[in-house]
Structure 1
Amino acid sequence: MLAETVCSAVSAAGLGVAAVTAYRKRFLSAFRIAAYSLVPIGLVMTGVVGWLADTAFSPTAWAGFGVLGLAWVLFATTRAVERRGGGTRKERRAARAAAGRDAVAPAVSEPSLGRGSTQAARPQSAPPRSKGAGDDFSDIEAILKKHGI
């Protein structure tokens, strides 16, 4: 009975604030405040507030919440152990076997360098840069001289 009275008072106060807000020509805010203030009285009318009040003071309900909390702790613990690598021996063996296998298509992620290129062939196929490096510097020197630097 007390919870219903409090919810009704909160709704009435909210509707009063909405009326003052509408008087100040802020209609959008007034409608939003009115909507929020009607929620508590709606909960009273549907019986949710009475159910919550009965639940809050029931030892059986609190014991039920305790059991649900224990279940949640057990689920979280098993999940944490599973993530750390725990589990059955078969699962661990299967994970090790899957980790040891090569990729299905290892060459797919490599860039296309031509036919038959491998990791070892890449450094040898690169041309020496000493010849081209001098040309690059001469171009830079020409540009700097042109600008008087």
Structure 2
Amino acid sequence: MLISTVCAAVSAAGLGIALLTAYRKRFLAATRIAAYALVPIGLVLTGVIDWVTDLVFKPSVWAGFGILALSAALFMISRAVERRRGGTRKERRRAAAAGRPEALAPTASAPSLGSPRQAERPKAGKAKPPQGDGEDFSDIEAILKKHGI
């Protein structure tokens, strides 16, 4: 009831200001002020003000908003932790069962290196590099032979 009275007073004051503005021959501004002044009384007559006051002044409504905010916060926290861990538990179990490590881009292909037998071997017609000291490259040759290159 008090809010309805306040809205009616605000509308009356706004219409008074609109009349003074129209008296000064600023009709466009006066029309705009009158339009704004009629909004509070229109809200009271449609019942929107009663709905808003019930919404604002009821503790159960604020408790509902608090629970919704808590739910949203928990959801965002769980998504952030899931992203940080690298997927859901189900996805990690599938990857472990498949015997493959989780990939950042699972659809990306591995580099195509081929087997050592497929590697191109030097042709016999090419000149061999000069061999000065065989001892300098013996360690490297041993490593290459060990890996089958």
TM-score by length of 2: 0.55
Structure of greater Rg: 2
> Residue 60 of structure 1 aligns to which amino acid in structure 2?
S
Please give the alpha-carbon distance, in whole angstroms, between the structure 2 residues aligned to 1:98 and 1:11: 66
5 Å-filtered alignment, 1:2-81, equals 2-78=2-78, 80-81=80-81
Count of aligned residue pairs for this structure pair? 102
Contact conserved, 2:12 with 2:37, CA < 8 A, in 1? yes
Q: CA deviation at 1:40?
A: 0.7
Render the CA deviation track for 1:81-138: whole Å, top value 9, x for unaligned. 4665743263894652246689xxxxxxxxxxxxxxxxxxxxxxxxxxxxxxxxxxxx
Please give the alpha-carbon distance, in whole angstroms, between the structure 1 residues aligned to 2:45 and 2:106: 62
* Consecutive aligned runs of 4 or more in structure 1 exceeding 6 Å deviation: none
Percentage of matched positions with identical amino acids? 62
Query: Which protein has the bigger helix share?
Result: 1
Please give the alpha-carbon distance, in whole angstroms, between the structure 2 residues aligned to 1:84 and 1:28: 59
Question: Which residue is 2:88 aligned to?
Answer: 88
Residues 47 and 96 from structure 1, CA distance in 2 versus in 1: closer, same or farther, beyond 3 angstroms? same
Please give the alpha-carbon distance, in whole angstroms, between the structure 2 residues aligned to 1:74 and 1:48: 33
Gaps of 5+ in 2: 96-101, 112-149
